[in-house]
Amino acid sequence: MSGRDDSTAGVGTQGTLSAGAHDLYLAVIRTHGRIARKEVAESEYSYLSELLDIGLLVPDTDDPHVLLAADPQQLSSGLSATWQRQALELLARAIAIPGDLQGLADAFHNPDATGGTVEYVRGKAIINQRINHAVASAKEEVLAAQPGGPRPPEVLSQTLAEDIEDLRRGISARTIYHPSTRYHAPTRDYVATLTEAGGRFRTLDEPYTRLIIVDRALAVIPVAEDLNLAAFIHDPAVIHFLTHEVFERNWNRGLDFSGGRTVPQQVVSRMRQTIIDLLLDGTNHRVIARRLGISERTLARHLAEMREDYNVESLFQLGYALARSSRESHQGPANPAAPGGG
């Protein structure tokens, strides 16, 4: 998710040749510093372009189909001066751009100029950009409730370094996930790394709203179920309500999650009961897995282990056994233990 412009990447920015271009130049030297374009193999076209771009090969003024080797020593002096000048220009632009754009940034992030104490922002790209900027600018605390299943591994890897840096600079971070993340190895690794750095995570097995709160000065929530439209809230009273009556209550009902493979028995039991309820409603395996945020393979493992635990063969028998076990648990006996590893 880098915003850097890569249009200048290549030989000119690195000041070195690829091995293929280096060998091709030496081959031209061995042919008395001349080579016809048609003599260059197709597999070497990229190396030829590299030498032409840097100026180590130049067209013969008498015959443009013939290329001549240039003196590297003379070329290096000119390129060094040119690249140093370009580097200084880029450095000057890099130093100046924050000040040049500060006025526009103030207008972009000023709620009075963009809609008052509640801003409505449309478009996932803009929403994510605003959220990333707010989190990167946090001074004390970031609270996040992330319903749904695990995030893609590439997203986790992209944000890991920035999240660790936020924690190292003293930001307090708490995040609520869906219990299905306990079965997702990339999420477990991500949570374990951030927990070691000071982050805190819990899982909550009940419906809750996506919510991000930064320094208790900004709250972000989706508008209805439209993830393309978000409300950025700056009103202190509303933020106080969302912090204490929504996030903190959900946090207190959640279970600690440090990235370990062991899944708490109550998480396993509730997830498996949800699986049975959905199966008895006629929901197919693919839909169940998607709703729970787990893979179909993990779902199949749950079903196999439940059948083994209750010594039954069919899903109907399993549903009956679970219902009977639930009634007995209120009278004293506990449900059979079920494995909870990821």
CATH architecture for segment(s) 117-256 = 2-Layer Sandwich (3.30)
| Parallel/antiparallel/unpaired status of strands 211-214 and 118-122 | unpaired
Nearest of 169, 220, 183 to residue 295 by alpha carbon = 183
Amino acid in the structure at residue 138: A
Place of tokens 């409603």: 281
Per-residue pLDDT of the chain (342 residues; tens, 9 = 90+): 222 233 333 333 344 688 888 888 898 888 888 888 888 888 888 888 888 888 888 888 778 888 888 888 877 777 777 778 888 888 888 888 877 777 676 666 565 544 458 888 888 888 888 898 899 899 999 999 998 778 888 888 888 999 999 999 999 999 999 888 888 889 999 999 999 999 999 999 888 889 999 999 999 999 877 678 999 999 999 999 999 999 999 999 999 999 988 888 888 888 887 888 887 777 888 888 877 777 788 888 888 888 888 888 877 777 777 667 666 655 554 444 444 444
- Sole residue written with tokens 């970031």: 142
In this prediction, residue 112 carries a pLDDT of 54
217/239 Cα distance (integer angstroms): 7
Domain 265-329 fold: Arc Repressor Mutant, subunit A (1.10.10)
- Say if strands 34-36 and 57-59 run parallel, antiparallel, or are unpaired: unpaired
Task: Find the largest Cα–Cα distance for the chain.
Answer: 102
Neighbours of 163 (CB within 10 A): 20
CB neighbour list of residue 210: distance below 8 Å, 6 or more residues apart: 145, 146, 147, 148, 221, 222
Helix or strand (DSSP H, E) at 253 = helix 248-253
What single-letter amino acid sits at 303?
Answer: L
The ranges of the chain annotated as CATH 1.10.10.10 are 265-329
* CA neighbor of 53 nearest in space, from 87, 18, 88: 18
**CB atoms < 10 A from the CB of 342, how many?**
16
Taking CA atoms, 338 is separated from 222, 234, 262, 264, 265, in Å, by 36, 46, 12, 10, 7
> 17-70: which CATH topology?
Arc Repressor Mutant, subunit A (1.10.10)
**Bridge partners, 232 (sequence order):** 119, 220
Compute how many other C-beta atoms are within 10 angstroms of the C-beta atom of residue 88. Answer: 10
- pLDDT score, position 12: 39
Helix (H, G, I), strand (E, B), or coil: what is residue 209? coil
